[in-house]
Amino acid sequence: MVIVAQLSLLLAAQSGEHSIMDYVQSNLKDLAVSARVLSSDVRELKKIKSDYAQNYTFDRSNVLFKDPFKLRVDSTVEDTTISITYNGSNLRIKAPGVSSRQDITNEPSRRETALDFGLLIPSLFNGFFNARFVRMDRETGCPVFDITYVDRTESARYRVWIDPTRKITTKREWYNRYGTQIATFYYDRPEHVNGVWVPTMITVKNVENKVGGSTRYEAIKVNAGIADSMFNVGR
């Protein structure tokens, strides 16, 4: 029976039976969360990238996401607020005395997407990412996919494990443009909010399997109707 099961998985993979579109949530339109940093270890985070610890500078941030490819993160510490907004391939950074607008069309890996939150939605695979089925994971029963950028000049890639029922990623490995793994993200404690599954805990480990940081999503709102004006990046 084991041999038969393994043969069935092999044939499914060869026939292209597994499509990433079978594992996306098509009803997610927008998302608002309060992101709270639970732990951070600067030394371990710097082993991922020299500046990666900056992502854990603020204890709490308000995050707004709207499909397709709109994201805003407002972080405040004491009296200082930093706002980072992505709208398509445009990026705006605002801080006291600083206002920068950048076109990152040719740097797709700089764009934060729903994938960073453990979410899989159709727009990710409509001209931005490609997905290739790798295998069914024996231990977890999760389908595993390799995700690459459609833009061939960007060679960074990811390998994801997907909860086939909730259609969220449970694990994501991050590889740089040289093919070297630099981090692994774990997505846990999913909650069902307004018809959408959302991971509420994200933990990142470096290649030494040391925890660099963990973040909890709170006050989650799904499909509340976020205005496009919240993602204005100016001209």
Indicate the Cα dihedral angle 19, 117, 158, 57, nearest 10°: 180
Beta strands in 79-210 (DSSP E): 80-87, 90-95, 98-103, 129-136, 143-149, 157-163, 168-175, 181-188, 191-193, 196-198, 201-205
CA–CA separation, 167 and 165 (whole Å)? 6
CATH number at residue 129: 2.50.20.10
Q: State how many domains the chain has.
A: 1
Q: Is 138 in a helix, a strand, or coil?
A: coil
pLDDT of residue 11: 47
pLDDT of residue 6: 47
Q: Is 183 in a helix, a strand, or coil?
A: strand
pLDDT tens-digit profile, the chain (235 residues):
445 444 444 444 444 579 999 999 999 999 999 999 999 999 999 999 989 998 898 989 999 999 999 999 999 877 888 999 999 999 999 998 889 999 999 999 999 999 999 999 999 999 999 999 999 999 999 999 999 999 999 999 999 999 999 999 999 999 998 899 999 999 999 999 999 999 999 999 999 999 999 999 999 999 999 999 999 998 6
CA–CA separation, 38 and 197 (whole Å)? 21
User: What is the separation of C-alpha 139 from the centre of its chain, rounded to a whole number of angstroms?
Assistant: 23
pTM: 0.90
pLDDT of residue 4: 47
Q: For residue 202, what are the domain limits?
A: 2-231
Contacts of 171 (CB under 8 A, 6+ apart): 142, 160, 161, 184, 185, 186, 187
Two tokens at 137? 């994971």
